[in-house]
Amino acid sequence: MSLDAKIPDGPIEQKWDNHRFDLKLVNPANKRKHSVIVVGTGLAGASASASLAELGYNVHSFCIQDSPRRAHSIAAQGGINAAKNYQNDGDSVYRLFYDTVKGGDYRSREANVYRLAQISNNIIDQCVAQGVPFAREYGGTLGNRSFGGAQVSRTFYARGQTGQQLLLGAYSALMRQVGAGKVTQHSRKEMLDLVVADGHARGIITRDLVTGKLERWSADAVVLATGGYGNVFFLSTNAIACNVTAAWRAAKRGAYFANPCYTQIHPTCIPVSGSYQSKLTLMSESLRNDGRVWVPKKQGDNRAPEQIPEDERDYYLERRYPSFGNLVPRDVASRNAKAVCDDGRGVGSTGLAVYLDFRDAIQRDGEDLIRQKYGNLFSMYEEITDENPYSSPMRIYPAVHYTMGGLWVDYNLMSTVPGLFVIGEANFSDHGANRLGASALMQGLADGYFILPYTVGGYIAAEGEDIGTDHAAFAEAEEAVKERTGKLLGVNGSRTVDDFHRELGSIVWDHCGMSRTADGLKLAQQKVRDLRDQFWSDVTVLGSEGEFNQTLERAGRVADFIEFGELMIQDALQRNESCGAHFREEHQTDDGEALRDDENFSYVAAWEHKGVGEEPVLHREDLHFDTVSLTQRSYK
Amino acid sequence: MNLTLKVWRQKNDAGEGQLETYPVSDVSPDMSFLEMLDVLNEQLTLKGEEPIAFDSDCREGICGMCSLVINGVAHGGEKGATTCQLYMRKFKDGDTITIEPWRAAAFPVVKDLVTDRSSFDRIMQVGGYVSVNTGSSPDGNSILISQDLSEEAMDAAACIGCGACVASCKNASAMLFVSAKIKHLNVLPQGQPERRKRVEAMLQAMEDEGFGNCSNEYECEAVCPKEISVDTIAFVNREYVKAKLKLI
């Protein structure tokens, strides 16, 4: 079966306009009779909740943290793209659209990406109006920088804390609606199941993380804005609590999961230092604007970097990609770092790092200017590593950072379960096989502020209904949650939850990380299946259900990651080509670049869950490129 | 290195708590403070003892979730850093370290080292925003803001809402947090229409939540992980006077 993405007819520039006109409207006076559940309060969730409430809907907003302001969007450093062309450097909606489709290695949906580029400009206006303190030029206009491989300056930023400031903007809009009584905020409540009745998403089951109480919530529509699944790798730049649970439980209730194998490995992170490590820290890739990436030419060269003369250094990105140099997209930069380390030329105690060197930039611009641009990043690096990056180069290595895959959604951002919408990183739609820098914030806010509020209305006007929580489907879902929790607490085994999580992470990192092979993936598949059995027979979860129990929370999430990990591997195995961040060693060009197979793999892989341990069913959405022509991505 | 921890254990908000002693061995100086607690929790779990509950999320100093008082100092005394950014190389072999939760009437303990800071959200709900609905904004460049002003707003907006200012204050005042939120918007052109209402409403909400008043101890500034200056409080005091005199 081919999936219908419900892409509107007409020229690409007019699709969104036409579609907004075609969507049914809910009478303004009737909106107050309808309610929407929004799970997650990051950029997508907070902006959606606030915007829906402004329109008049009653919103129930949920987050697992102690405050909606803590969602992990807050950690985004670099910036947000928009096609304003304020710099007069030739940018346009079309160019942003084109760059994003190309950057995604032609595995995203053209119509969605075009809409994203169109909306990008409204986002900046909205955020400025909220008081987001973006960087300014001397004349008081908005400042821009070039970012993540773009050849125009279209990135808006607020120091190295753009995500924080945008999230605080969305959070303040959300708080305003809580104050106005239009949003009810439920913090420290975790969604543990989706309730589907008569084929429609009608509510959710949550666990109160303080008291352990299970609760039922019903609404006309359910929106998931629960972020990505990067923590399947255990070590990632995600926050500790980021998880796949809400999305995975929705998948088990019938929502197809699309392209789970597309995971972005960010090239500039601080390398792993020991087995106790709980997370990896990203260094904004804006550093690549001035830092030069290199390794020694000689294998096993363990001299201090300052003692390695210029002609014995390999500035491999500049050498291989003379036109983009150190600014090649993330997937290319990461893969090259892995290649030089695999070649025995990695640096540092583990040999799993490359240098990011500011010596030349400091000589050229002076230490003051570099401090002004990157001061906070440099001090962060020094705090963590105890090394001074002004005097010796940083050591960096790629780390899991973002997941392009997610629940499948149509043009309305609705999943295969009617009434269940998925926005932000939790859906799959806009980044294809690789996300460009400064595009995640753009997509989260586009979905939440400017797309979902219309499309949810269209659904509610046609088929929305709040059936209340007495329906048998609620009782069944609550019972299922209770049973699973009981099972987790009842194993009483000998291994900790984190121990399982760490093992899962190392399996998927080794075999389904920066590069993949059919043999490795098959091996990993078996290992993850075995791990699932071991988990359910040997995990230990102390404490009880009816209390604040962080181990129980993590156990549920790790159990879901294990099930999900199997699907991720399966997806990587079926995608018998290389594209974007998905690099299958069997498929590369003569000079080692990703080799796509457009004839056979120009589709979205959407997986239907058939039960744990059962073979999932693959559904394809064929991708059509009517506006841009498919080319080999080249950054030479 | 080997350490002795004295950790506050408390079953829930109704119960009473006490300090319990735990030895930890083989701590690497490159571990973060929270990773050291992770290791201890793993050991406790394997012994069948319930692990210590503590809040953390991003572990890179920006989400504001982590919140430990270490040896009597909120976030442990490393300048401009949160608890998660504190590394064990700052301690010596044989040290005894006391770990407690934020202590303030307006931040009730949930369990062990975890507190409830929803009072901050409620303060935000009465004025920590610009009343602009989605879609009703002019072009971004139609509002000109000088670099200096933007920087001044950003200095205040950098607040991560962790509550260390409250935990360090003998009055448990939230004045630094509330001032940072007010100043961020009150200096910007976008915040002008609601300038008076914002300062009055948010200060009132702070009082209603049970936070104390500011008596110029400057403890908040000393522990603020984002190094927000007490000048921010002075700014808001001036705003408050102007608001009362209807000058804004």
* pLDDT per position as a tens digit, B194-228: 999 999 999 999 999 999 999 999 999 999 999 99
What does the pLDDT read at residue A620? 97
Query: Is residue A572 a contact partner of residue A602, using CB atoms and an 8 Å limit?
Result: no
- If chain A, 636 residues long, is cut into consecutive pieces of 10 residues, what is the mean pLDDT of each piece? 89 97 95 97 98 98 98 94 97 97 96 98 98 97 87 92 97 98 98 98 98 98 98 97 98 98 95 91 89 96 95 97 90 92 93 96 95 86 93 96 98 98 97 94 98 98 96 98 98 97 97 97 98 98 97 98 98 97 95 92 98 97 95 80
* CB-nearest partner of B191 from A122, A131, A450: A131
**Cβ separation of A187 and B63 shorter than 8 Å?**
no
Burial bucket for residue A88 (CB in 10 Å: 0-12, 13-18, 19+)? exposed
What does the pLDDT read at residue A1? 54
Q: Could you tell me how many CB contacts below 8 A there are between chain A and chain B?
A: 214
* CB-nearest partner of B161 from A69, A161, A551: A69
DSSP bridge partners of A58 = A35
Rg of chain B taking only CA atoms, in angstroms: 20
Cα A51 to Cα A451: distance, rounded to the nearest angstrom: 10
- Cite the residue boundaries of each domain of chain B with CATH code 1.10.1060.10: 118-244
Mutate to test the interface with A, among B24, B54, B57 (most CBs of A within 10 A): B57
Judging contacts by C-beta atoms under 8 Å, the chain A residues touching residue B59 are 239-240, 278-279, 281
**Cβ separation of B130 and A131 shorter than 8 Å?**
yes
CATH code, A472-609: 1.20.58.100
- Cite the residue boundaries of each domain of chain A with CATH code 3.90.700.10: 266-401
Judging contacts by C-beta atoms under 8 Å, the chain A residues touching residue B58 are 70, 72, 74-75, 239-240
| pLDDT class of B13 with cuts at 50, 70, 90 | confident
Mutate to test the interface with A, among B60, B182, B204 (most CBs of A within 10 A): B60
- Dig out the tokens for A384 from the structure: 């963590």
Mutate to test the interface with B, among A87, A125, A234, A275 (most CBs of B within 10 A): A125
**Cβ separation of A239 and B150 shorter than 8 Å?**
no
Judging contacts by C-beta atoms under 8 Å, the chain B residues touching residue A551 are 45, 51
Number of neighbouring beta carbons within 10 Å of residue A315: 16
**Cβ separation of B141 and A141 shorter than 8 Å?**
yes
- Dig out the tokens for A63 from the structure: 């987050």
**Cβ separation of A171 and B147 shorter than 8 Å?**
no
- Tell me how far CA of residue A535 lies from CA of A347, A509, A512, B47, B96, in angstroms: 36, 19, 20, 19, 36
Judging contacts by C-beta atoms under 8 Å, the chain A residues touching residue B153 are 131, 133
Residue in B with minimal Cα distance to A167: B63
What does the pLDDT read at residue A274? 86
Burial bucket for residue A386 (CB in 10 Å: 0-12, 13-18, 19+)? exposed
* CB-nearest partner of B125 from A51, A178, A239: A178
DSSP bridge partners of B6 = B21, B98
**Cβ separation of A187 and B139 shorter than 8 Å?**
no
Mutate to test the interface with B, among A20, A61, A67, A87 (most CBs of B within 10 A): A67
**Cβ separation of B132 and A187 shorter than 8 Å?**
no
Domain B3-114 has CATH 3.30.70.60: no
Query: Is residue A206 a contact partner of residue A192, using CB atoms and an 8 Å limit?
Result: yes
| Dihedral in degrees, nearest 10, Cα atoms A421, A424, A429, A434 | -160
Mutate to test the interface with B, among A64, A70, A121, A208 (most CBs of B within 10 A): A70
Cα A596 to Cα A608: distance, rounded to the nearest angstrom: 25
* CB-nearest partner of B110 from A69, A159, A548: A548
Cα B248 to Cα B239: distance, rounded to the nearest angstrom: 8
Place of tokens 């509610």: A460
Cα B241 to Cα B239: distance, rounded to the nearest angstrom: 5
CATH code, B118-244: 1.10.1060.10
**Cβ separation of B129 and A175 shorter than 8 Å?**
yes
> One-letter amino acid identity for A466?
D
Judging contacts by C-beta atoms under 8 Å, the chain B residues touching residue A187 are 118, 121
- Cite the residue boundaries of each domain of chain A with CATH code 1.20.58.100: 472-609
Residue in B with minimal Cα distance to A542: B50
Judging contacts by C-beta atoms under 8 Å, the chain B residues touching residue A178 are 121, 125
> What's the DSSP call for residue A616?
P
Calculate how close chain A gets to B74, using CA atoms only, in Å.
18
Q: Which helix (H) or strand (E) holds A117?
A: helix A110-130
* pLDDT per position as a tens digit, A305-355: 999 999 999 999 999 999 889 988 888 899 999 999 999 999 998 899 999
* CB-nearest partner of B60 from A175, A273, A281: A281
- Cite the residue boundaries of each domain of chain A with CATH code 3.50.50.60: 12-24+35-264+403-463
* CB-nearest partner of B131 from A176, A276, A542: A176
Calculate how close chain B gets to A324, using CA atoms only, in Å.
30
Judging contacts by C-beta atoms under 8 Å, the chain B residues touching residue A240 are 56-59
Judging contacts by C-beta atoms under 8 Å, the chain B residues touching residue A69 are 64, 121, 161
Judging contacts by C-beta atoms under 8 Å, the chain A residues touching residue B185 are 131
CATH code, A266-401: 3.90.700.10
Cα A596 to Cα A381: distance, rounded to the nearest angstrom: 37
* CB-nearest partner of B130 from A129, A494, A551: A129
Residue in A with minimal Cα distance to B192: A131
**Cβ separation of B28 and A274 shorter than 8 Å?**
yes
What does the pLDDT read at residue B242? 97
Cα B104 to Cα B87: distance, rounded to the nearest angstrom: 26
Calculate how close chain B gets to A484, using CA atoms only, in Å.
21
Tell me which CATH homologous superfamily contains domain A12-24+35-264+403-463. Answer: FAD/NAD(P)-binding domain (3.50.50.60)
* CB-nearest partner of B58 from A72, A138, A173: A72
Reply yes or no on whether the pLDDT at B155 is more than 80: yes
- Dig out the tokens for A64 from the structure: 């697992």
Residue in A with minimal Cα distance to B61: A75
Calculate how close chain A gets to B247, using CA atoms only, in Å.
22
* pLDDT per position as a tens digit, B51-79: 999 999 999 999 999 999 999 999 999 99
* CB-nearest partner of A239 from B57, B132, B184: B57
Strands (E), A219-330: 221-224, 257-258, 263-269, 292-296, 313-314
Mutate to test the interface with B, among A242, A276, A548, A558 (most CBs of B within 10 A): A276
Cα A560 to Cα A566: distance, rounded to the nearest angstrom: 10
* CB-nearest partner of A130 from B55, B132, B138: B132
Mutate to test the interface with B, among A240, A377, A492 (most CBs of B within 10 A): A240
Helical segments of A425-512, H only? 440-445, 452-463, 472-490, 497-512
